[in-house]
């Protein structure tokens, strides 16, 4: 199941209007990574929760371990790029970013032990392959 997380980036549009026009062409991993990077740059207390949900969504959409590894690299690079842009460039207002980030509907998702994620709209993201026990 392919899902776009435009709702997760509504606040991102406020922070980076130049990139906003390219959101539709970004992969889910890129969108989630950019969101995480801005949250990290602004010291969000909810970043860990976001990353748990994001990592499950990426894993659930990946048919193989290789695809998952590639998507995690994409996520990590997008996170790093957004963090650096926020720290070095023309930083957006962290207070505003955190206000929007903390209200993301994604935080109303529920992650189950089997790796399934129930999204706020009631949709499910289920693993395409068995979850490895760690």
* Per-residue pLDDT tens digits for 33-60: 989 999 999 999 999 999 999 999 999 9
What was the pLDDT predicted at 2? 42
Q: Is the dihedral of CA 82, 83, 87, 93 positive or negative?
A: positive
Structure tokens given for 98? 């955190």
Listed as ranges, residues in the chain with pLDDT below 70 are: 1-24, 89-92, 130-134
Into how many domains does the chain fold? 1
Q: H-type helices in the chain, by residue range?
A: 10-15, 17-20, 28-41, 47-61, 65-88, 94-102
Residue 1 belongs to some domain of the structure: no
- Which residues partner with 111 through β-bridges? 117
Residue 93 belongs to some domain of the structure: yes
Residue 132 belongs to some domain of the structure: no
Gap between the Cα atoms of 26 and 125, Å rounded:
19
Residue 35 belongs to some domain of the structure: yes
39: containing domain:
6-125
Residue 79 belongs to some domain of the structure: yes
Gap between the Cα atoms of 57 and 126, Å rounded:
8
Q: What are phi and psi of 46, to 5 degrees?
A: -105, 5
Residue 133 belongs to some domain of the structure: no
Predicted TM-score (pTM) of this structure: 0.80
Contacts for 5 with CB less than 8 Å, ≥ 6 apart: 28, 31, 32, 35, 106
What was the pLDDT predicted at 77? 96
Residue 131 belongs to some domain of the structure: no
Percent of residues, the chain, with pLDDT higher than 90: 48
3-state secondary structure of 123: coil
What was the pLDDT predicted at 67? 94
Residue 110 belongs to some domain of the structure: yes
3-state secondary structure of 132: coil
């Amino acid at each position: 199941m392919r899902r776009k997380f435009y709702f997760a980036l509504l606040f991102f549009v406020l922070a980076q209007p130049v990139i906003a026009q390219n959101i539709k062409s970004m992969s889910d991993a890129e969108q989630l990574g950019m969101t995480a990077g801005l949250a990290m740059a602004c010291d969000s207390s909810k970043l860990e929760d976001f990353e748990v949900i994001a990592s499950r969504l990426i894993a659930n959409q990946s048919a193989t371990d290789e695809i998952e590894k590639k998507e995690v690299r994409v996520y990590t690079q997008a996170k790093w790029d957004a963090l650096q842009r926020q720290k070095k460039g023309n930083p957006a207002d962290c207070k505003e970013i955190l206000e929007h980030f903390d209200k993301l509907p994604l935080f109303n998702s529920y992650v189950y032990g089997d790796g399934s994620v129930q999204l706020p709209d009631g949709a499910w993201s289920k693993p395409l392959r068995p979850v490895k026990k760690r």
